[in-house]
Amino acid sequence: MRLERSFFVHLGLLVVAALSAVLVWTRDEKAAALSVADVTVWAGRADDVERIAFEGKSKSVVLEAKKDKEGRYFVGTAERKTTPPAEKPKDPHQNPDDAAQDDEPPAEPEPTVKTTTFVSVAAGNKLAEAIAPLKALRAIGRIADDRAAEFGLAEPEGTLTVKLRGAERKLVLGGATPGGADRYARDEATGEVYAIKGDIYRDLDTAESRLLERDLHEWKDVDLARARVITGDKRREVVRSGDEGKKFWADPASPEQNDETVGNWMSKLDRLRPTEYVAAAPEQKEVVVRIEYTGRSGDIGFAELVKGPPGASGKPDYFLVTERTRLYGKVPVGVAEQVEQDVGAVVK
């Protein structure tokens, strides 16, 4: 009897402990959710973002908001400084004692600056949504100067400047929070310190790769109805046929027959993805092929592959522009050459 009573007492305590843990966990989850929702560093809307600038220790990034009939996008410029190590050539025949006397401090090498231009659509708009309004994970408050180092604000990683409807807001980005996922930051206008999501810093620190637009179109394959392939003074219409998940390209005269030549060529074209962008169209460019895409309700986009003059390697660079990328993007030469070589089998 005593054993049974002891068992039920322990069972009751276990149930109470479990319920308490659930309540505490639920309370903490709700508190965390309220904390994220209630702590606003600054207000605004993503559409209000006109310019995003980041000045870091060895790089600077600027994103300018643009808008056309296709929607909002950003044109970015990233400058990264690299200082090569200082080296002084040594004479292998020189006496070590003489070398010690003649030894002079090496000249400080000049830093090299690499400038990268890129277009950002999906990632750029996502970043704008993250910073307008800017929500914090939690508010730290104002801190004394002698505590700045604790938050990485004595030697910050950089400064974020956001232009919202003509007004600028600045945020100093400090060190990583415990765990390393998020960042401490200080609002320059108020002096308040916050913990913010680390994705903002990561996007800006490696903007030329994380923010670079690689998708050629916003529409999906199911939206396609037909395409017009143009090369030189020749052109050909092809149609998209088949059931969903089993789509294929066909000639309009025989829409139920899969044209594998066209399909393989289109697949190669779809593999072209920009690795970097250029601010202006390539000089002396030659249009290799242009594809105009049509949906059920009309034109939905295009892709144009061009070839530039031979470079230092003796081979020309290839560039692709679409309705989504807006600017010419450099694409892998190997795949582009295949597209150029095989277009004659598609358009005869």
pLDDT tens digits, residue range 169-197?
999 999 999 998 999 999 999 999 999 99
Query: Pick from 333, 329, 318: which is nearest to 285 by CA?
Result: 318
Both 186 and 254 in one domain: the answer is no
Both 256 and 150 in one domain: the answer is no
Q: Apex CA 323: angle with CA 317 and CA 329, to 5°? A: 20
Residue 301: strand pairing partners: 293
Rounded CA separation 37/35 (Å): 6
Query: Pick from 348, 339, 293: which is nearest to 318 by CA?
Result: 339
Work out the pLDDT band at 90, boundaries 50, 70, 90.
low
pLDDT given for residue 311 in this prediction: 78
Both 265 and 315 in one domain: the answer is yes
Among residues 211, 233, 266, the one where a domain terminates is 211
Among residues 211, 240, 267, the one where a domain terminates is 211
The reply to whether 295 falls in a domain is yes
DSSP letter at 332? -
The reply to whether 28 falls in a domain is no
Both 61 and 200 in one domain: the answer is yes
pLDDT given for residue 146 in this prediction: 96
pLDDT given for residue 93 in this prediction: 59
Instruction: Name residue, tokens 């401490």.
Output: 184
pLDDT given for residue 9 in this prediction: 44
The reply to whether 330 falls in a domain is yes
262-277 burial code (b ≥16 CB/10 A, e <16): beebbeebeebbbeeb
Both 280 and 194 in one domain: the answer is no
What is the count of structural domains for the chain?
2
Mean predicted lDDT score pLDDT of the chain: 88
The parent domain of residue 139 ranges over 41-81+110-211
Both 262 and 136 in one domain: the answer is no
Mean pLDDT of 57-76: 97
- Classified as helix, coil or strand, 52 is strand
What angle do helix axes 260-270 and 333-346 make, rounded to 10 degrees?
A: 150
Q: Identify the residue with better confidence: 274 or 24.
A: 274
Instruction: Name residue, tokens 């009309």.
Output: 298
pLDDT given for residue 196 in this prediction: 97
Rounded CA separation 42/240 (Å): 48
The reply to whether 180 falls in a domain is yes
Please tell me the total number of residues recorded for the chain in this structure: 348
Among residues 155, 181, 211, the one where a domain terminates is 211
The reply to whether 24 falls in a domain is no
Rounded CA separation 168/243 (Å): 52
Both 335 and 226 in one domain: the answer is yes
Both 241 and 180 in one domain: the answer is no
Both 75 and 189 in one domain: the answer is yes
- Classified as helix, coil or strand, 242 is coil
pLDDT given for residue 59 in this prediction: 96
Both 137 and 197 in one domain: the answer is yes
Work out the pLDDT band at 342, boundaries 50, 70, 90.
very high
The per-residue pLDDT for range 105-143, each reduced to its tens digit, is 666 677 889 999 999 999 999 999 999 999 999 999 999
Mean pLDDT of 327-347: 97
Rounded CA separation 336/320 (Å): 9
Longest dimension (CA), the chain: 99
Work out the pLDDT band at 32, boundaries 50, 70, 90.
very low
CA distances from 30 to 26, 34, 117, 137, 254 (A): 6, 6, 43, 13, 61
The reply to whether 170 falls in a domain is yes
The reply to whether 25 falls in a domain is no
Rounded CA separation 137/34 (Å): 10
Rounded CA separation 305/328 (Å): 9
Rounded CA separation 343/288 (Å): 9
Query: Pick from 42, 209, 3: which is nearest to 132 by CA?
Result: 42
Both 155 and 278 in one domain: the answer is no
Mean pLDDT of 310-325: 92
Both 167 and 66 in one domain: the answer is yes
Percent of the chain with pLDDT over 90: 76
